[in-house]
């Protein structure tokens, strides 16, 4: 077997497509050996081939380190610094058989590459200045996106919107720092150099811009992390039938026998771009059955921590008060509960349960799991309730991640304290320390001042090969 190629530096390789079989699988290389390894492991099907040309797909045989063909596919060479990583990069496009991909990867290792770590390609892109840290983190978010809204949030970050906003904040703070320096160096020129009123106005303007970014994070939070919605209510209220109707599948067992659901079930639901984990819980009633009682307790606990509870009431029967249900309703409050009147295809119960629900301050939606009546209205009400506190994200808005929002929030605290210092006529040289701290915290968003352990935590969340 040929000896590994020798070049100073580190070349990494990994499979860049998901595990399993597929029509196409990609093996990616990045580093100083990438071009030479690509040339050694490829034999063009084209007569007169003179070598890999940048940014072109070449068709031919993909070889092992001894020159034995492994597959017929394509190869692309992207020289640095204009590649994704900023380094020489090669990608082999093979048939997506795991055995073929393993063999191509082994050939790369035999010629001097090493296995890439999680997110290492994107980490190199960050270290080589191809992406800021916010953009790099957005790569993992886009890969993991569960809906169009979450994907749009990630795409906006990947395009650099958050990083640009942070750089603009940094520039504004740099201007204030320059004014501080003038005021300290030339105190006799205080009015001309940095009037206190103008200083306070400028600080307030930066705080307002940070507040806008933090509001965007709050609006994006349910779409990034999803929301838990739990169905609860008395036995035979129609919870499992509603659960199945909302999912569009017979996921929960439904029977006329009370207590059929003895533990909670959970399934994912896409609520017009908002990822929801929907839970069907055991019915509420007094029971000597220890297993049913344990399931009921687990359901109550789950509902208590859910972002929204759906209180399912049999709309075809008179309302029956339930001590446990009403205690939970009082604990959650009307803002975290939607009442659902089930069985709307049947004559309503008398007296109308709506009167009792309205007296508890609950909004009620009538539905029929049998006919589908009211389900669109219920889904719309669920989404409105889950996004009511912060609102839905605006398309194309810069929404910092939780890590970035924590840094911006800390910077805002420093600036709020600075505003108080200005009002208290604190000397300029003392106020400069707060500006320095705020500037460093804003720079953390783009990775300018981010410590190595934080960088590793960001990239460790990536899949290998990206």
Integer Cα distance of 51 and 45 in angstroms: 12
- Long-range contacts of 161-165, Cβ-Cβ distance < 8 Å, separation of 24 or more: 161/396, 161/397, 161/398, 162/134, 162/138, 162/213, 162/398, 162/399, 162/400, 162/401, 162/404, 162/445, 163/132, 163/133, 163/134, 163/135, 163/445, 163/446, 164/398, 165/209, 165/213, 165/398
What pLDDT does 66 receive?
Answer: 93
Are both 284 and 422 inside the same structural domain? no
Which pLDDT tens digit goes with each residue over 111-140?
999 999 988 999 999 999 999 999 988 888
Q: pLDDT at residue 433 above 80?
A: yes
What pLDDT does 327 receive?
Answer: 84
What pLDDT does 168 receive?
Answer: 94
Greater confidence, 3 or 347? 347
| pLDDT category of residue 379 using cuts at 50, 70 and 90 | very high
Distinct helix (H) and strand (E) counts, the chain? 16, 13
Asked if the structure places residue 140 within a domain, the reply is no
What pLDDT does 79 receive?
Answer: 95
User: Domain containing 299: what range?
Assistant: 226-386
Are both 252 and 312 inside the same structural domain? yes
Which pLDDT tens digit goes with each residue over 146-193?
888 888 988 999 999 999 999 999 999 988 888 776 555 555 554 445
Query: What's the whole-number average pLDDT of the chain?
Result: 85
Are both 97 and 27 inside the same structural domain? yes
Are both 421 and 439 inside the same structural domain? yes
Query: What CATH number corresponds to the domain at position 341?
Result: 3.40.50.300
User: How, if at all, do strands 308-314 and 227-232 pair?
Assistant: parallel
Task: Render 298-338 in DSSP notation, one character per residue.
Answer: HHHHHHHHSSEEEEEEETTS-----HHHHHHHHHH-GGGEE
Are both 210 and 246 inside the same structural domain? no
Asked if the structure places residue 364 within a domain, the reply is yes
Are both 309 and 251 inside the same structural domain? yes
Asked if the structure places residue 98 within a domain, the reply is yes
Domain count, the chain: 3
Are both 60 and 118 inside the same structural domain? yes
User: How, if at all, do strands 364-366 and 337-342 pair?
Assistant: parallel
Q: What are the angstrom distances between the C-alpha of 182 and each of 249, 414, 466?
A: 69, 21, 47
Query: What CATH number corresponds to the domain at position 63?
Result: 3.30.1360.120
Q: pLDDT at residue 110 above 50?
A: yes
Are both 230 and 353 inside the same structural domain? yes
What pLDDT does 420 receive?
Answer: 93
Asked if the structure places residue 146 within a domain, the reply is no
Asked if the structure places residue 148 within a domain, the reply is no
> Do 342 and 315 meet the contact criterion of CB atoms below 8 Å apart?
yes
What pLDDT does 348 receive?
Answer: 84
| pLDDT category of residue 2 using cuts at 50, 70 and 90 | very low
What pLDDT does 285 receive?
Answer: 61
| pLDDT category of residue 258 using cuts at 50, 70 and 90 | very low
In sign, the C-alpha dihedral spanning 219, 221, 222, 228 is negative
Which pLDDT tens digit goes with each residue over 186-233?
555 544 456 788 889 999 999 999 999 999 999 898 888 889 999 988
Asked if the structure places residue 150 within a domain, the reply is no
Single pTM value for the model: 0.78
What pLDDT does 253 receive?
Answer: 46
């Amino acid at each position: 077997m040929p000896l590994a190629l020798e070049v100073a530096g580190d070349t990494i390789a990994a499979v860049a497509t998901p595990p399993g079989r597929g029509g196409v699988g990609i093996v990616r290389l990045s580093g100083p050996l990438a071009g030479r390894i690509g040339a050694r492991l490829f034999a063009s099907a084209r007569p007169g081939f003179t070598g890999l040309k940048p940014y072109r797909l070449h068709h031919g045989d993909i070889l092992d380190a001894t020159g034995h063909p492994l597959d017929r596919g394509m190869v692309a060479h992207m020289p640095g610094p204009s590649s994704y990583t900023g380094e020489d990069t090669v990608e082999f496009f093979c048939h997506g058989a795991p055995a073929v991909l393993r063999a191509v990867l082994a050939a790369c290792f035999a010629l001097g590459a090493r296995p890439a770590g999680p997110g290492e390609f994107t980490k190199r892109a960050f270290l080589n200045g191809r992406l800021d840290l916010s953009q790099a983190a957005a790569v993992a978010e886009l890969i993991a996106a569960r809906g169009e809204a979450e994907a749009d949030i990630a795409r906006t970050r990947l395009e650099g919107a958050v990083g640009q906003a942070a750089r603009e904040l940094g520039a504004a703070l740099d201007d204030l720092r320059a004014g501080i320096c003038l005021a300290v160096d030339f105190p006799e020129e205080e009015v001309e150099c940095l009037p206190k009123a103008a200083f306070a106005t400028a600080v307030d303007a930066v705080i307002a811009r940070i507040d806008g970014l933090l509001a965007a994070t709050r609006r994006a939070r349910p779409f990034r992390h999803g929301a838990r919605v739990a169905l609860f209510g008395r036995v035979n209220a129609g919870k499992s039938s509603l659960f199945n109707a909302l999912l569009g599948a017979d996921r929960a067992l439904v029977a006329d026998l009370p207590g059929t659901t003895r533990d909670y079930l959970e399934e994912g639901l896409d609520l017009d771009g908002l990822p929801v984990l929907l839970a069907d819980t055991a019915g509420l009633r007094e029971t000597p059955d220890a297993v049913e009682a344990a399931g009921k307790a687990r359901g109550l606990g789950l509902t208590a921590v859910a972002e929204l509870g759906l209180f399912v009431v049999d709309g075809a029967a008179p309302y029956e008060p339930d001590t446990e249900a009403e205690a939970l309703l009082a604990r959650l409050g009307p803002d975290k509960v939607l009442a659902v009147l089930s069985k709307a295809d049947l004559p309503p119960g008398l007296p109308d349960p709506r009167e009792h629900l309205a007296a508890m301050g609950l909004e009620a939606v009538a539905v029929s799991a049998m006919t589908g009546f009211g389900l669109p209205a219920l889904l719309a009400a669920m989404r409105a309730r889950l996004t009511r506190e912060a609102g839905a994200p605006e398309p194309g808005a810069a929404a910092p991640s939780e890590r970035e929002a924590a840094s911006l929030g800390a910077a805002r605290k420093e600036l709020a304290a600075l505003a108080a210092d200005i009002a208290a006529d604190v000397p300029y040289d003392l106020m400069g320390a707060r500006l320095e701290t705020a500037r460093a915290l804003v720079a953390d968003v783009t990775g300018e001042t981010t410590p190595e352990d934080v960088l590793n935590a960001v990239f460790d969340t990536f899949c290998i090969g990206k």
